[in-house]
Amino acid sequence: MANMQMNKTPMKEQDPNVRNANFLEVALGYTLDEAVNEAKRCIHCKNPACVTGCPVGIPIPDFLAKVAEGDIAAAYEILSNANALPAISGRVCPQENQCEGKCVRGIKGEPVAIGRVERFVADWAAEHGVSNLATAPANGHKVAVIGSGPAGLTCAGELARMGYAVSVFEAFHTPGGVLSYGIPEFRLPKAIVQREVDNLKKMGVDIELNMVIGKVLTITELFQRGYESVFIASGAGLPMFMKIPGESLVGVYSANEYLTRINLMKAYKPDAETPILHNKKVAVVGGGNVAMDAARCAKRLGAEVHIIYRRSEAELPARAEEVHHAKEEGIIFDLLTNPIAIEGDEQNHVKAITCIRMELGEPDESGRRRPVPVKGSEFETQVDAVIMALGTQANQMSYAGTPGLEKTRKGCVAADDHGCTSCPGIFAGGDAATGAATVILAMGAGKHAAKSIDAYIKQKG
C-alpha cells in the first residue's frame, strides 16, 4: 500500500548559519529508512507522467518500487541503465519543473521527492561497491566526443555501453565541464563528479585532458585519425555583459571566471595557486542558478551579498530551492532593480554600482512581464565587486572553420532534437547546440545524440 503522507520526507541540511561559512555540501541526503518511506509515496500511475517529464527517460516508478522494497541494488541497476550520471542529476536536476512537476501526488500535496531518492540510490551504490559497468562487446568503431560536461559524459557512457571505442577531449586539466567549474562544492561535491568519471573510464571511455579542439586538433583532423563520428558538447563558455559604463574596472567579474576560480582552482583555500579577493560587499547581477551560485560563494568568502534582478521574485529563473537556500544564508535580494553604471576609484577599482528602479509592464516574448525603468529613481550603492551572471554564449572555438557545418544566429551548432547537424557524422548537443541547456537537458541531448550516432554508423556500414 502506498504511503499517503501529503508532504515529502524531509531531508536534513546543514544549519544556514554554519554552512554559509563553509563549502561542504548543504543537503545531507536520506537515510535508508527515509528513502524507503519516500519511495512508498509513489502510487504507480497507469500512465506515469513523471517519466514523460524526464529528459533521459528514467523508468521512475520501477526504480522507486525497488527502493520501496528495500532492494537498492536492483533500483540502482534500473536507474543507471537509463542515466549515466545519477548521483549528479539527483543533486542538480530541476526536478520541480520536470519529473516531480508532473507527479500526480503534487496536485493535493507535495510530489514524490524523486531527485532525493535518486541521489540516495546512487550514493548507496557507491558506498556499497555496487556498479553497473556492463558494456556490449567491442564493435570496432571509434567516436570522438568534444567536451566532458554532462552532455559529453552522457553520450560517451551510452556509446560505451553499445560497444564503441570512445575518446572524450576536454580542454581543461580536469574533466566534468560545468559540473566541475560551474557548480559549487556545496551543491555538487567534486569527488562525486570524479566518481562518475571514473565509472566511465572503467567502461573503457578514454578521457584526454588539456585537449583544446580547434587549436590542438580540428574536427577534420579527428576524422583523419579514424574517428567515424564526432559529438560536439563543448558547452557555452563565453560570458555576457551589459555593456554599461565601468564593466572594465578591477573587481568586475563574469560569473564564469568567479566560479571557475572557486570551483576548479579552489581559490577559497588559503594556499590556492589562483587566489581571489575576499570582498566586503558584492553585487551579483542576474537571477538564475548561476547568480545564486556566485552569490552564495561570495557569502562564504565573507562578503555582504546583494542579488540585483530587474524583475520581481515571481520571475526569478533560478530553482526555488536555490533561492530558498540563498535567503536562508543571508543573501539580500534587490528586486525590480537594474544596474546602469559601475563606478571606480582612483586606482580603477570598483567602489559603487548605480542602479535604477524598475516596474513590470506588459509581457514580452518570454511570457514574463517586461521590466520598465522608473524615471528619476536612480540610486548608488557602495560595493567593492560586481559579478555579472547574465547567461553565456556558445564557445565556437572547437567547431569554427569546420567545412559545411551550419550555425544558428547566436553561433551555436545548428542541430535537430536528435543532435544531427548539416555535416554527416557530426552531431551536437547541450549548450553547444542550444546555448541554454540545464544539466539534465544536456544529459538528455547526449543520450539522444548517442542513439543518432549509433544509427548513423550502422547505416554507413
CA distance 24 to 184: 9
Q: Which CATH number describes the domain made up of 12-127?
A: 1.10.1060.10
Report CA-CA distances (Å) from 150 to 89, 130, 146, 218, 439: 9, 22, 12, 22, 6
Q: Tell me, what's the pLDDT at 270?
A: 83
Quick one: which of 116, 126, 123, 119 has its CA closest to 38? 116
Ordered strands of the 165-169 beta sheet: 206-208, 165-169, 142-146, 229-232, 426-428
pLDDT at 368 > cutoff 90: no
Dmax (CA) for the chain in angstroms is 71
Confidence of residue 129 (pLDDT cuts 50, 70, 90): very high
Rounded average pLDDT over 422-436? 88
Residue type (1 letter), 338: N
Eight-state DSSP code of residue 174: S
Residues 31-44: tens digit of each pLDDT: 999 999 999 999 99
3-state secondary structure 14-26: CCHHHHCCCCCCC
Domain spanning 239-392: which superfamily?
A: FAD/NAD(P)-binding domain (3.50.50.60)
CA 274 to chain CA mean position, Å: 23
CA distance 76 to 56: 15
| Crossing angle for the helix pair 289-300 and 320-328, to the nearest 10 degrees | 20
CA distance 387 to 425: 39
Residue, of 33 and 417, whose pLDDT is higher: 33
Residues 186-226: tens digit of each pLDDT: 999 999 999 999 999 999 999 999 999 999 999 999 999 99
Q: Tell me the DSSP string of 103-165.
A: -GGGSSSPPP-HHHHHHHHHHHHHHTT------PPP-S-EEEEE--SHHHHHHHHHHHHTT-E
Q: Under CATH, what is the fold of the domain 142-237+394-460? A: FAD/NAD(P)-binding domain (3.50.50)
Residue ranges, comma separated, of all CATH 1.10.1060.10 domains in the chain are 12-127
Residue appearing with cell numbers 583523419: 224
Residues 52-106: tens digit of each pLDDT: 999 999 999 999 999 999 999 999 999 999 998 999 999 999 999 899 999 999 9
Q: Count helices and strands (H / E) in the chain.
A: 16, 18
Residues 267-279: tens digit of each pLDDT: 888 888 887 888 9
User: Is there a contact between 284 and 294 (Cβ–Cβ < 8 Å)?
Assistant: yes
Residue ranges, comma separated, of all CATH 3.50.50.60 domains in the chain are 142-237+394-460, 239-392
Cβ neighbour number for residue 383 with a 10 Å cutoff: 24
CA distance 163 to 232: 20
Per-chain mean pLDDT for the chain: 94
pLDDT at 343 > cutoff 90: yes
